[in-house]
Chain A
């Protein structure tokens, strides 16, 4: 079993009723890469991710994970390969953090099987990976936003996925926790596909970016190639400068709100 999967999205079109959310999008994420989806609100980032983690069925096109069509695999089998952290506020019924993370073991378990020592070890590792081992016995609904997000990532890790999909995992987090969460993702062996709002964070943490605008991909490549003043003007309608930060070496976007 591989540690990291290859993702190939080919010619995917997504619709909601008569409306086209995403049209004819193709993208790839190679094994072990961290690939970011950026673009304005409503550009189709979430929809595209939902097609990958198999909630929104494409009207056309294919989603392949290590060559296998994600939409023809049984749901349970796919869940052993692809895990997701979604934007879906959870109704919680007094679950402890550890129980939330244990959910991630479900696709690996027969229905009546108890949690084994191996499951316990996987859960511990997942909690440790996001630096949340101290939270294990806390009630999930009493956690702060950043703690919750880390626990949800741990739950996804407990699935032992080779592809991890995240929809704006840094939303509502303060900057400290944004860096923490993205740092965790950066260190994972699995392939990571995530939607991000913040272009500077995307530039620093992602190997490659795909820029979405009005349901189509307008640019793809390493952050330094993709993020240009022309793109900022075209896609976001803002004036900005892009420089290479002397310490991080990553592209740095500076917005000029009044057009300088």
Chain B
């Protein structure tokens, strides 16, 4: 389970550095994921309506970075396709996948429930509503940042509502959590649809409707920095707080006795997670289930310690979404499928499996 089964009997009570086996699996898993990420990004740059050979992809990329390993024997058009069309999109995919995976990981610890995920809990819907309000009402109080700021506010609002309604007597049951997430998402989506249907800006409405399905198209180098900064900051802060996230796994009272001011910590983390979710939703629409699937898959390999789950989930999320986007661009080419539709196709069944697994274990974890 945690990769330590091999040395179960090997060294009882030895005062060697803890979890040596865990560390090697961690190092191995990270290495595999980094290699996979490089391969995935290459594939993302190479695959499409115009196929570019991988060698040429790296020729173009290194050339653009000022290092000429290959003779520039490619056309301007190919260079534009790789650098200006595909590269920002692939990077946004990697950033979004990494961000959603760590947000899901942290959310599962914060609400102490394995089914938590920004999309399922209505957080993404809140962010969408916030962003769409800005578009529909045309308010741009913060200039180009308005969309992200409004999405952040919507995400935080939805998260607080879901958390407050799901919590009774200091506990959150899976049932209540998922139900209030579904209810809040339904209401927010309804309001969003209402906004779109009644707005005068018919053309924009169609574009926005497509965006609400989640997609990585439409990004360029000028808009990529914000999600990039938000996700890297988010991962950095969460890594610093990894020990505290671990404490929450022990329960709120126990975490308090181990020195964590739980209420304050959770409030701060909610703000951080809403910020990352809001910025990502503003950039690529709500993309579901990435935050649910990846943390659980990663835990199978490296165990539950957040110091290992967070970095590996980030890498795995990046790999996953880059490939999901490649599939979205190619399976029905020339038609492009919203990547959110594909992640839901994978994620829905995964969610059901997870629910049944927890039921089989006889511990609906998080239930008193």
Verify if B143 is at the interface (C-beta below 8 Å from A).
no
Verify if B66 is at the interface (C-beta below 8 Å from A).
no
Q: Give chain B interface residues in 278-326, CB to chain A under 8 Å.
A: 299-300, 303-305
Inter-chain contact B249/A95, CB cutoff 8 Å = yes
Please measure, in the bound complex, the distance between the C-alpha atom of A117 and the C-alpha atom of B15, giving whole angstroms. 7
Inter-chain contact B12/A86, CB cutoff 8 Å = no
Inter-chain contact B259/A137, CB cutoff 8 Å = no
Inter-chain contact B257/A55, CB cutoff 8 Å = yes
Verify if B207 is at the interface (C-beta below 8 Å from A).
no
Inter-chain contact B250/A137, CB cutoff 8 Å = no
> What is the 8 Å Cβ interface bit string for chain A, positions 8-24, against chain B (1 contact, 0 not)?
00000000000000000
- The listed residue with most A CB atoms (<10 A of its CB), out of B13, B254, B363, is B254
Inter-chain contacts of A55 with B (CB < 8 A): 253, 256-257
Q: Give chain B interface residues in 250-291, CB to chain A under 8 Å.
A: 250-254, 256-261
The residue on B at minimum CB distance from A140 is B304
Inter-chain contact A137/B4, CB cutoff 8 Å = yes
Verify if B65 is at the interface (C-beta below 8 Å from A).
no
Inter-chain contact A120/B15, CB cutoff 8 Å = yes
Verify if B330 is at the interface (C-beta below 8 Å from A).
no
State how many angstroms separate the Cβ of B262 from the closest Cβ of chain A: 9
Given contacts A79-B257, A93-B108, contact A98 B19 (CB under 8 A): yes
- Which of A78, A91, A123, A136 is B259 in contact with, Cβ under 8 Å? A78
Please measure, in the bound complex, the distance between the C-alpha atom of A53 and the C-alpha atom of B258, giving whole angstroms. 10
Verify if B112 is at the interface (C-beta below 8 Å from A).
yes
The residue on A at minimum CB distance from B109 is A93
Inter-chain contacts of B18 with A (CB < 8 A): 98, 102, 115, 119-120, 123
Inter-chain contact A95/B13, CB cutoff 8 Å = no
Q: Give chain B interface residues in 203-258, CB to chain A under 8 Å.
A: 239-241, 243-244, 246-247, 249-254, 256-258
Verify if A83 is at the interface (C-beta below 8 Å from B).
yes
Inter-chain contact A137/B299, CB cutoff 8 Å = no
Consensus secondary structure, chain B interface: loop
State how many angstroms separate the Cβ of B79 from the closest Cβ of chain A: 41
Q: Size band of the A side of the interface?
A: 35 or more
Given contacts A111-B241, A115-B17, A120-B16, contact A75 B259 (CB under 8 A): yes
Given contacts A112-B240, A141-B363, contact A90 B251 (CB under 8 A): yes
Please measure, in the bound complex, the distance between the C-alpha atom of A92 and the C-alpha atom of B4, giving whole angstroms. 17
State how many angstroms separate the Cβ of A21 from the closest Cβ of chain B: 15
Inter-chain contacts of B244 with A (CB < 8 A): 106, 111
The residue on B at minimum CB distance from A127 is B13
Q: Give chain A interface residues in 68-85, CB to chain B under 8 Å.
A: 75-80, 82-84
Inter-chain contact A91/B365, CB cutoff 8 Å = yes
Inter-chain contacts of B246 with A (CB < 8 A): 95, 99, 103, 106
Inter-chain contacts of B77 with A (CB < 8 A): none
Please measure, in the bound complex, the distance between the C-alpha atom of A120 and the C-alpha atom of B16, giving whole angstroms. 7
Given contacts A96-B303, A98-B19, A103-B250, contact A91 B113 (CB under 8 A): yes
Inter-chain contact A94/B299, CB cutoff 8 Å = yes
The residue on B at minimum CB distance from A107 is B259
Verify if B114 is at the interface (C-beta below 8 Å from A).
yes
Inter-chain contact A75/B303, CB cutoff 8 Å = no
Inter-chain contact B251/A88, CB cutoff 8 Å = yes
Verify if A247 is at the interface (C-beta below 8 Å from B).
no
The residue on A at minimum CB distance from B172 is A91
Inter-chain contact A84/B2, CB cutoff 8 Å = no
> What is the 8 Å Cβ interface bit string for chain A, positions 113-147, against chain B (1 contact, 0 not)?
00101011101100110000110111101000000
Inter-chain contacts of B54 with A (CB < 8 A): none
Inter-chain contacts of A86 with B (CB < 8 A): 251, 253-254, 257
The residue on A at minimum CB distance from B300 is A94
Q: Give chain B interface residues in 101-137, CB to chain A under 8 Å.
A: 108-109, 112-114
4 nearest A-B residue pairs (beta carbon): A79-B259, A107-B259, A133-B13, A76-B259
| Cβ contacts A to B, 7 pairs, < 8 Å | A55-B253, A75-B256, A99-B2, A103-B249, A117-B15, A120-B15, A120-B16
- Can you name 5 extra interface pairs (CB under 8 A) apart from A104-B258, A155-B250? A76-B259, A86-B253, A90-B251, A94-B300, A115-B17
